[in-house]
Amino acid sequence: MHKIIILDGITVPGLFLTLDFPNEVIYQELCADRDVSEAIAGSDIVITNKVKVTREHMQSNPQLKMIAVAATGFNHIDIDAAKELGITVTNVRAYSTQSVAEHTVMMMLTLSHQLIAYHQSVDVGKWQQSPFYSLPGPAYNELLGKTLVIIGKGDTGQAVAKLACAFGMNVLFSERKDATNCRPGYTKFEDALCQADILTLHCPLNDSTLNLIDHDELIQMKKTAFLINIGRGGLVNEQSLADSLRRGDIAGAGFDVLTIEPPINGNPLLQKELGNFILTPHLACRSSEAFQRLTEGLNNNLNAFIAGNPINVV
């Protein structure tokens, strides 16, 4: 009998495990960090979406054999410790690719067409008082012919590129920020920043990408450009972006992620008067179809591990 604990079931609603082996599942809605060691005591498999599993947690639970991440990103797992202790860590890859790509395009359209500003105008009664059939307001632009720069050429970056091409956009993939050579099919980072009408981030968060976009990068962009981050909180210096939006260094931004989530202690991007700025609560990956693929991926990872043929090992 394999004992499985789900540490943050609230993040994967409707999760239904169909496993090929005898099991006992313990469900926790949301385990606090301080309680993880005690919670996983006696379990040989842990399922976690965002709850951290550290070296200390692993060392205090020598029975632990597998950590199944119910997501693609695994920054919250001490991978080095897991390898040292012989614990297999798996993730679910590409389950949310389409959902995230569509959310990115939604941001692009909402920003470039000034949708929020016009909706707010209708909300306060301005259209109802207009002297003609429409309503004067901020100029907006089509995506056709605009240059989209994508940082990150993985599944999501390529899915965004495919959708952007359908709108007739010119798509460029940016080379890494500090790269000494520019690979075929990429544009130098500095050149890409200057050319971007829209810059969208779909790369992992690590030491080399922390604050990838900061004050110096923002002032290199066109004043008419938009910045989109559906990737990871921490890729953009949030205070620098808030300052840039107020100064008008760029025309707007759309974010689905923040450095600390939820932002219980506030965040510069929650402040007022940021202009054409959209913030959604880390939901780009949470479509119904994405959850279905996530559940299938978790089941496959768990069954393969117990069968002795682990897949999607990180």
HEC secondary structure over 247-263? HCCCCEEEECCCCCCCC
CA pair distance 199, 194, nearest whole angstrom: 10
Question: 160: closest CA among 170, 174, 175, 150?
Answer: 150
In sign, the C-alpha dihedral spanning 190, 212, 155, 269 is negative
In sequence order, which residues have a C-beta less than 8 Å from that of residue 3 and are 6 or more positions away?
23, 24, 26, 42, 43, 44, 45
The structure tokens listed for 39 are: 């919670």
Catalogue all structural domains in the chain, each as residue range(s) with its CATH number: 2-95+289-306 (3.40.50.720), 97-279 (3.40.50.720)
CA pair distance 192, 220, nearest whole angstrom: 10
Neighbouring CB atoms inside 10 A of 1's CB total 7
Q: Please tell me the predicted confidence (pLDDT) of residue 13.
A: 83
In sequence order, which residues have a C-beta less than 8 Å from that of residue 261 and are 6 or more positions away?
233, 282
283-288: long-range pairs with CB below 8 Å, 24+: 283/103, 283/256, 284/96, 284/99, 284/100, 284/103, 284/104, 284/230, 284/256, 285/71, 285/72, 285/95, 285/96, 285/99, 285/100, 286/96, 286/99, 287/96, 287/98, 287/99, 287/102
* Contact status, residue 37 vs residue 59, Cβ threshold 8 Å: no
pTM of the model: 0.92
| Residue count of the chain | 314
The structure tokens listed for 307 are: 């069968």
In sequence order, which residues have a C-beta less than 8 Å from that of residue 4 and are 6 or more positions away?
17, 23, 24, 25, 26, 43, 44, 45, 46, 47, 302
- Could you give the residue numbers annotated as active site? 232, 261, 282
| Helices (H), ranges, 33-186 | 36-39, 55-59, 79-84, 97-112, 115-123, 155-166
Question: 197: closest CA among 241, 248, 146?
Answer: 146
Let me know how many helices (H) and strands (E) the chain has, helices first: 10, 11
Amino acid at 197: D
* Contact status, residue 193 vs residue 222, Cβ threshold 8 Å: no
* Contact status, residue 186 vs residue 174, Cβ threshold 8 Å: yes
CA pair distance 116, 198, nearest whole angstrom: 18
Amino acid at 171: V
Please report, in tens digits, the pLDDT of each residue of the chain (314 residues total).
999 999 999 998 878 899 999 999 999 999 999 999 999 999 999 999 999 999 999 999 999 999 999 999 898 999 999 999 999 999 999 999 999 999 999 999 999 999 999 999 999 999 999 999 999 999 999 999 999 999 999 999 999 999 999 999 999 999 999 999 999 999 999 999 999 999 999 999 999 999 999 999 999 999 999 999 999 999 999 999 999 999 999 999 999 999 999 999 999 999 989 999 999 999 999 999 999 999 999 999 999 999 999 999 99
- Angle, helix 288-306 to helix 97-112, in steps of 10 degrees: 150
Q: Please tell me the predicted confidence (pLDDT) of residue 238.
A: 98
